[in-house]
Structure 1
Amino acid sequence: MPLSMMKSGIRAAMLLSVCLAGRTVWSEEVQLTVQDVPQPLAAAVKQLETREGWGITYEEPPDRPAPKGSITLSYDVTDATRTDARLQEEVLTRLLAQQAGKEAPRFRLVQAGGLWHVTPEQGSSLETPLTLPRQERPLGELLRLLCAEVSKQSGTQVELGRTAGLPLESRVTLEAVTREPARAVLARLLNTPPRRAAWTLRTQGAERKYVLSAHRIFRLTGGAPGPVPSK
């Protein structure tokens, strides 16, 4: 083989290696911003869910909703790290730190049932322990049953609100539970493969009842969202 052709082949191989390496280490810097909106943490959580496909629930504090405010957060993500629980935890922890302030309620991050839960530090109705027998019913009936049990055991009214994208008529099985937190039961009920869903829990009306709204998890920027890895 002529020397010139050999050199051309070496250069082509080097360029291919650089391209492949570049594809491997490709990353995107994401700028997440919510400006002067009510409950900015809830708005930022929704942005993260629809952009990255992460399963994140949001539970409003029992005393008062968060005041109007703004949040700005940047992070780097790749296709590989998008499904990494360590990156998700880091981003969400930084997000919660943005909520610190004299007038802002405090939140904590909990991982359970394949979801991340942004929940008030002072507690939530969904921490109420439930004891239920094994039963097979339509999903909608089980969700209403769970809300009724939480209301009964906690003394705080919880009603089922919107259920976007969920097959309420599909029959599902709820295994028996004994004094298990309602949050864990709900997460398991809503996340039966291939279905993935999250929720918000918000106060409503002068009587300060809670409305539980559940929804399918969609990644709007493309691609199928993967489950949150266990630690």
Structure 2
Amino acid sequence: MPLSMMKSGIHAAVLLSVCLAGRTVWSEEVQLTVQDVPQPLAAAVKQLETREGWGITYEEPPDRPAPKGSITLTYDVTDATRTDARLQEEVLTRLLAQQDGKEAPRFRLVQAGGLWHVTPKQGSPLEIPITLARQERPLGELLRLLCVEVSKQSGTQVELGSTAGLPLESRVTLEAVTREPARAVLARLLNSSRQRAAWTLRTQGAERKYVLSAHRIFRLTGGTLGPAPSK
């Protein structure tokens, strides 16, 4: 999505100052808007990530993508509550609730591996348990290996797509995995003390294969990224 669209889709409607314990706290009312776009939930998730720095993944349903639509959501945030997992969960839950009653795939919110996951209720290939031996390889090789293993175990083709901002040549140690959901393994591979990353999983082509695209999490409005939500 173009940067100009993301900036125009989200704006601060009101700034309020209140006194709390002798100091001024700024509360910002944010209106998040996506209008008449394909896969509006995916677009709204991306806007939340780039505005607030929240780690959110989006996994597309296997049968069909969401139809074109619009979403408007208003919420209040401060510098303190921005990093609060309770606010993140509340905002994302309200966002998903807008899909109820519409002719659109149904989603659920899952918290795992320090990330929020917007994933279809009917399941995702990344829920498949996988088993991998302990190994040290470049990150790019491990990501492709994970896609191969998910494809084998799920019977659905999963390919690695774009990897914006990720150090694919950096060597990473993957500890042995025994029948653990691929989503949890992927979250560990992509997130460490030095970096935070999320992904999208989308269907592509007539054969309905999946493409896994991963990216660094950047908060475009400035400031530091919020910490991962506690388990």
Per the normalisation by structure 1, the TM-score is 0.90
Residue 20 of structure 1: how far off its partner (Å): 7.5
Compared with structure 1, are the counterparts of its residues 123 and 10 closer, same or farther at alpha carbon in structure 2 (3 Å cutoff)? closer
Query: Does the CA-based 8 Å contact 2:13-2:31 persist in structure 1?
Result: no
State the structure with more CA Rg. 1
Counterparts of 1:160 and 1:18, CA distance in 2: 48
Residue 25 of structure 1: how far off its partner (Å): 2.8
Residue 192 of structure 1: how far off its partner (Å): 1.4
Compared with structure 1, are the counterparts of its residues 185 and 22 closer, same or farther at alpha carbon in structure 2 (3 Å cutoff)? same
Which digits, 9 at most, give the CA deviation of each residue in 1:195-231, with x for residues without a partner? 1000000000011000000000000000110222314
Residue 49 of structure 1: how far off its partner (Å): 0.1
Counterparts of 1:63 and 1:85, CA distance in 2: 31
Residue 79 of structure 1: how far off its partner (Å): 0.2
3-state SS of the aligned residue for 1:18? strand
How many residue pairs end up in the alignment? 231
Counterparts of 1:159 and 1:3, CA distance in 2: 26
Query: Does the CA-based 8 Å contact 2:125-2:154 persist in structure 1?
Result: yes
Compared with structure 1, are the counterparts of its residues 23 and 218 closer, same or farther at alpha carbon in structure 2 (3 Å cutoff)? farther
Query: Does the CA-based 8 Å contact 2:9-2:33 persist in structure 1?
Result: no
Point out the more displaced range, 11-20 or 85-94: 11-20
Query: Does the CA-based 8 Å contact 1:150-1:182 persist in structure 2?
Result: yes
Residue 164 of structure 1: how far off its partner (Å): 0.1
Counterparts of 1:219 and 1:133, CA distance in 2: 35
Compared with structure 1, are the counterparts of its residues 112 and 101 closer, same or farther at alpha carbon in structure 2 (3 Å cutoff)? same
Q: Which residue of 1 aligns with 2:62?
A: 62
Q: Which residue of 2 aligns with 1:190?
A: 190
3-state SS of the aligned residue for 1:46? helix
Q: Which residue of 1 aligns with 2:35?
A: 35
Compared with structure 1, are the counterparts of its residues 14 and 112 closer, same or farther at alpha carbon in structure 2 (3 Å cutoff)? closer
Identity %: 92
Counterparts of 1:71 and 1:50, CA distance in 2: 17
Counterparts of 1:116 and 1:124, CA distance in 2: 15
More strand by proportion, 1 or 2? 2
Query: Does the CA-based 8 Å contact 1:174-1:189 persist in structure 2?
Result: yes
Query: Does the CA-based 8 Å contact 1:84-1:228 persist in structure 2?
Result: no
- Gapped regions of structure 2 (runs ≥ 5): none
Q: Which residue of 2 aligns with 1:104?
A: 104
Counterparts of 1:6 and 1:147, CA distance in 2: 30
Compared with structure 1, are the counterparts of its residues 19 and 10 closer, same or farther at alpha carbon in structure 2 (3 Å cutoff)? farther
Query: Does the CA-based 8 Å contact 1:106-1:120 persist in structure 2?
Result: yes
Structure 1 stretches (4+) deviating beyond 4 angstroms? 1-23
Compared with structure 1, are the counterparts of its residues 21 and 160 closer, same or farther at alpha carbon in structure 2 (3 Å cutoff)? same
Query: Does the CA-based 8 Å contact 1:136-1:173 persist in structure 2?
Result: yes
More helix by proportion, 1 or 2? 1
Which digits, 9 at most, give the CA deviation of each residue in 1:37-75, with x for residues without a partner? 000000000000000000000000001000000000000
Per the normalisation by structure 2, the TM-score is 0.90
Compared with structure 1, are the counterparts of its residues 26 and 171 closer, same or farther at alpha carbon in structure 2 (3 Å cutoff)? same
Counterparts of 1:225 and 1:57, CA distance in 2: 16
Counterparts of 2:10 and 2:103, CA distance in 1: 63
Whether 1:166 and 2:187 are equivalent positions in the alignment is no
